[in-house]
């Protein structure tokens, strides 16, 4: 079994290493969305497309995953293919990293594991689709994503389209407040609903450009104290959102099916996402992709503004 030197976790790609050394913008990308959030074979194309979007904005992508017991920030094509196509690719939250490294496992990293590894590598901006959160059956299952508590103690800016409506959205916002994670609406005073531009919930702060986000990041650092994250909630464009009526109907069906089948734990999110894709004839997937693309573009611009301040 390989030894893990703390200084080499995660192992940086040449491109990421050089960008960090030169103070160029870098955007961390998670891999669970590729391995477990999107259907094959489209997932590989999307993984590559997201990296290309980051580059088109003048930043360097750092997709994060664990391959054969080694954590990487910046994957080559073969590694990305392993994550997208491989059987036995595990879903790794932050707590799974040590066992995965020690046993030589291969896995995709969730928001919690990605944020942890990205911050460890000195990356400051991370773009994803939706954050994990409080599940609707929380009172019975106690299922709250480890994303939330990890973000309460990790200094990183996460661009997301809110949390998926399969979750308890007000409950998740409440937990973020309790945990001390600041939430900024990007060009909106509404918390986005992932597939929908508006979840129906308000946010307390609205920002209007990447420079303003970078200014908030600088103020966080100036304040010091708890190393909490900054959430930038970036709504999908209204023209690209899922039809709200279709959304509400299919969501109710998905939740009922999940309950009937007794699906629990880590399997819940992938099950519900897959159900929505099938039941909307792929429309939820298109809204999902539109949201992620927008977040990745915005993440690259924020990383650019952040790098320009240094
Ligand atoms: N939201 C999505 N797609 C996803 C996820 C969330 O739109 O694939 C993934 C993210 O990686 C997130 C994880 O960190 O699900 C949360 O999983 P859990 O609820 O098991 O913590
Ligand atoms: Mn969970």
> ipTM score here?
0.95
Which residues are close to ligand 2, an ion, with C-beta < 5 A? 143
What is the chain's Cα-based Rg?
18
What ligand has the least distance to the C-alpha of 32?
1
CA separation for the pair 183, 201 (Å, rounded): 12
CA separation for the pair 305, 300 (Å, rounded): 9
Q: Interhelix angle for 244-261 vs 268-279, to 10°?
A: 130
Minimum-distance ligand 1 atom for the alpha carbon of 288 = 7
Minimum-distance ligand 1 atom for the alpha carbon of 111 = 14
Helix (H, G, I), strand (E, B) or coil at 165: coil
Contact criterion met (CB below 8 Å) for 168 and 134: yes
The closest residue, in CA terms, to atom 1 on ligand 1 is 130
143 CA from centroid of ligand 2 (Å): 5
Q: Which of 151, 113, 119 is nearest to 133 (CA)?
A: 151
Residue 304, strand partner residues: none
3 CA from centroid of ligand 2 (Å): 30
Residue 122: CB atoms within 10 Å: 11
What ligand has the least distance to the C-alpha of 264?
2
Give the up-direction half-sphere exposure of residue 156: CA atoms within 13 A in the CB hemisphere.
33
Burial class (CB in 10 A: 0-12, 13-18, 19+), 115: buried
Residue 77 appears among annotated catalytic residues: no
How much is the pLDDT for 184?
98
Both tokens of residue 170? 């007000």
Residue 30 appears among annotated catalytic residues: yes
- DSSP strand pairing (196-202 vs 190-193): antiparallel
Q: Does the CB atom of residue 277 touch ligand 1 within 6 A?
A: no
Cα–Cα distances in angstroms (integers) from residue 22 to residues 26, 39, 143, 215, 297, in the given order = 11, 37, 41, 21, 21
Q: Probe ligand 1: pick from 89, 132, 273, 285, max atoms within 8 Å of CB?
A: 132
pTM: 0.95
How much is the pLDDT for 86?
78
* Consecutive 10-residue averages of pLDDT for the chain (310 residues): 76 98 98 92 96 98 98 98 93 98 98 98 97 91 94 98 93 98 98 96 98 98 94 98 96 93 85 93 96 98 96
Query: Sign of the C-alpha dihedral, residues 132, 301, 288, 208?
Result: positive
Contact criterion met (CB below 8 Å) for 63 and 47: yes
96 CA from centroid of ligand 2 (Å): 13
Catalytic residue from among 51, 57, 144, 164? 164
What ligand has the least distance to the C-alpha of 137?
2
The closest residue, in CA terms, to atom 11 on ligand 1 is 110
Q: Does the CB atom of residue 110 touch ligand 1 within 6 A?
A: yes
CA separation for the pair 72, 29 (Å, rounded): 11
Contact criterion met (CB below 8 Å) for 186 and 230: no
Q: Does the CB atom of residue 32 touch ligand 1 within 6 A?
A: yes
Both tokens of residue 223? 């304040």
How much is the pLDDT for 50?
98
Q: Is 147 annotated as a binding residue?
A: yes
Q: Is 143 annotated as a binding residue?
A: yes
Q: Probe ligand 1: pick from 111, 284, 291, max atoms within 8 Å of CB?
A: 111
């Amino acid at each position: 079994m390989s030894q893990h030197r703390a200084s080499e976790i995660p192992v940086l790609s040449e491109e990421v290493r050089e960008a960090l050394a030169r103070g160029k913008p870098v955007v961390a990308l998670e891999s669970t969305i590729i391995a477990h959030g999107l259907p094959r074979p489209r997932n590989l194309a999307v993984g590559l497309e997201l990296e290309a979007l980051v580059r088109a904005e003048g930043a360097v992508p750092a997709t994060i995953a664990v391959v054969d017991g080694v954590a990487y920030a910046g994957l080559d094509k073969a590694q990305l293919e392993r994550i997208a196509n491989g059987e036995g690719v595990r879903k790794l939250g932050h707590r799974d990293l040590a066992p995965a490294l020690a046993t030589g496992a291969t896995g995709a990293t969730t928001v919690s594991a990605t944020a942890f590894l990205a911050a460890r590598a000195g990356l400051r901006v991370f773009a994803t689709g939706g954050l994990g959160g409080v599940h609707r059956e929380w009172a019975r299952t106690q299922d709250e994503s480890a994303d939330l508590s990890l973000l309460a103690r990790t200094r990183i800016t996460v661009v997301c389209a809110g949390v998926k409506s399969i979750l308890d959205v007000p409950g998740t916002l409440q937990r973020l407040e309790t945990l001390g994670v600041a939430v900024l609406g990007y060009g909106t005073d509404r918390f986005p609903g992932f597939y929908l531009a508006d979840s129906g919930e308000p946010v307390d702060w609205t920002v209007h450009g990447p420079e303003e986000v970078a200014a908030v990041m600088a103020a966080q650092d100036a304040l010091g104290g708890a190393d909490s994250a900054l959430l930038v909630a970036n709504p999908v464009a209204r023209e690209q959102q899922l039809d709200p009526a279709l959304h509400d109907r299919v969501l109710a069906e998905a939740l009922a099916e999940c309950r009937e089948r007794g699906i629990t734990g880590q399997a819940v999110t992938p099950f519900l996402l897959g159900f929505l894709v099938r039941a909307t004839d792929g429309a939820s997937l298109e809204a999902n992709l539109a949201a992620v693309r927008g977040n990745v573009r915005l993440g690259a611009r924020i990383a650019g503004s952040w790098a320009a301040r240094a």
